[in-house]
């Protein structure tokens, strides 16, 4: 049921000139204190989402500084992932409740997972998001455990939250992306706030010249000499891709040669994505300038990098958003970003300074037009956005945060 990820090689020295230098002294200081400790991360998948993307760099960097860290994920289980996607939606505020059968299946699956986890015997478990959250109730031993939530639980479904709460209370600490996500019934003194971070050296974010980026994007039928706006995120109702299409249609009245790319990903833990992608294709009404693409079309990390660099504007019109790493990625590439007034986007974008915040379709369209008409404004916002990311949202900072917390919980 759970499977280990083979860690890629990672060299921390490559990041030294990209971020705040003070992080490095602290990283090695805390890493030395963790000698002899065994730490294991467990999440839903090894690819296809922001959590996996973070762990794909974070855990190898721990290994790089001699911390004994391992990473496991949950093997394909369609029925379980259909259910946990619903739990995810409930935790973000969807109305309704789980049936008795669904609750029993969720707990039984977590119990089975815990049987496999039991033999690993780490000093510390870090369990990510709702999929494995109840396993802590079925594990025995002297280990410590942290629950890391990456989603927006600020206005959560109380019925589903209360179902999970007895299992949550078994954790030693909790990590949330923002303080207002801390759910009712959890002890504030046991919570920590860690904004996510991006890896500036992975394929999605590594430097790429514009000529190479245009060649990659052009292969998908996009005219790279015409204006292009993009939203790159999961095919998910909370990302409001329909609103992005509506805003594009309004802006097109002023810029009739405008193009839109909606790029998503189909991952094992998100079975609703295919249905939503099909709905978006229908909603696009055969507009040849709307390009709905995914990993099934060959859009992977390097291609996303190219799309973000070629796009004149990147949009993330989310209604709910745990953090919004696609905002971070675009800002790192000096692109002006239009983001929904939701979740972690509010933390990243200072409205009118390093991007724009919007709520309605009309606001989104107005900002698209404003940025296309004012290239100097777009350039200034992009430059300020990159500096925001450099200071706050690069992976060495997150590594430092994690190692400091592990030292606190294991050595205090």
Global confidence as pTM: 0.91
**Residue 351 backbone dihedrals phi, psi, to 5 degrees:** -55, 125
What architecture (CATH level 2) is domain 210-392?
A: 3-Layer(aba) Sandwich (3.40)
Contact indicator for 318, 359 with CB cutoff of 8 Å? no
The answer to whether the CB of 290 falls within 8 A of the CB of 248 is yes
Average confidence (pLDDT) per 10 residues, the chain, 412 residues:
92 84 86 96 90 95 96 92 95 96 98 96 97 96 95 95 97 96 94 95 95 98 98 94 98 98 86 91 96 95 97 97 94 98 95 98 98 98 96 94 97 86
Q: Which two tokens stand for residue 207?
A: 């430097």
* CATH 3.40.50.2000, the chain: domain bounds: 2-197+394-411, 210-392
- What CA–CA distance (Å, rounded) separates 94 from 109? 23
Question: For residue 333, what pLDDT is reported?
Answer: 98
- Cβ of 359: how many Cβ atoms within 10 Å? 13
pLDDT value of residue 113: 97
pLDDT of 20? 65
pLDDT at 120: 96
Q: What is the Cα–Cα distance from 57 to 34, expressed in whole angstroms?
A: 19
Which residues in 308-360 belong to E strands, given as ranges? 313-316, 337-340, 356-358
How many other β-carbons are positioned within 10 Å of the β-carbon of residue 190? 15
Query: Backbone phi, then psi, for 128, in 5-degree steps?
Result: -105, 125
Tell me the C-alpha to C-alpha distance, in Å, between residue 294 and each of 39, 48, 60, 220: 34, 11, 27, 11
The correct CATH number of 2-197+394-411 out of 3.40.50.2000, 3.20.20.80, 3.40.1190.20, 3.30.70.20 is: 3.40.50.2000
pLDDT of residue 81: 94
Lookup: tokens for 180: 């207002």
Q: How many CB atoms lie within 10 A of CB 155?
A: 12
58 touches 325 (CB < 8 A): no
């Amino acid at each position: 049921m759970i499977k280990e990820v083979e860690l890629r090689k990672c060299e921390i020295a490559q990041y030294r000139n990209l971020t705040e230098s003070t992080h490095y002294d602290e990283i090695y200081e805390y890493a030395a204190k963790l000698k002899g400790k065994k730490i294991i991360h467990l999440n839903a998948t090894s690819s296809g989402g922001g959590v996996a993307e973070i762990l794909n760099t974070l855990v190898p960097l721990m290994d790089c500084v001699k911390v004994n860290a391992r990473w496991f994920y949950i093997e394909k289980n369609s029925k379980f992932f259909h259910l946990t996607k619903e739990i995810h939606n409930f935790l973000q505020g969807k109305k309704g409740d789980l049936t008795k059968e669904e609750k029993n299946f969720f707990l039984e699956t977590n119990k089975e997972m815990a049987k496999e986890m039991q033999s690993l015997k780490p000093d510390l478990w870090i369990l990510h998001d709702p999929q494995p959250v109840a396993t802590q109730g079925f594990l025995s031993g002297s280990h410590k455990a942290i629950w890391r939530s990456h989603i927006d639980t600020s206005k959560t479904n109380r019925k589903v939250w209360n179902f999970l709460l007895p299992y949550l209370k078994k954790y030693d600490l909790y990590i949330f992306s923002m303080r207002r996500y801390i759910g009712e019934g959890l002890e504030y003194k046991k919570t920590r706030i860690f904004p996510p971070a991006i890896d500036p050296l992975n394929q999605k974010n590594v430097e790429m010249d514009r000529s190479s980026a245009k060649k990659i994007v052009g292969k998908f039928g996009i005219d790279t000499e015409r204006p292009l706006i993009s939203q790159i995120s999961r095919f998910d109702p909370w990302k409001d891709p329909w609103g992005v299409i509506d805003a594009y249609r309004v802006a097109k009245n002023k810029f009739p040669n405008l193009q839109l790319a909606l790029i998503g990903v189909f991952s094992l833990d998100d079975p609703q994505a295919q249905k939503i992608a099909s709905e978006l294709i229908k909603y696009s009404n055969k507009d040849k300038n709307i390009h709905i693409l995914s990993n099934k079309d060959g859009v992977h990390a390097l291609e996303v990098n190219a799309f973000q660099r070629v796009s004149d504007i990147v949009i993330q019109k989310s209604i709910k958003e745990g953090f919004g790493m696609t905002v971070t990625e675009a800002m790192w590439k000096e692109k002006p970003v239009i983001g929904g007034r939701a979740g972690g986007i509010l933390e990243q974008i200072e409205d009118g300074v390093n991007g724009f915040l919007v709520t309605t379709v009309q606001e989104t369209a107005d900002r698209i037009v404003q940025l296309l008409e004012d290239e100097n404004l777009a350039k200034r916002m992009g430059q300020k956005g990159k500096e925001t990311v450099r200071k706050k949202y690069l992976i060495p900072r997150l590594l430092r945060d994690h190692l400091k917390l592990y030292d606190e919980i294991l050595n205090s």
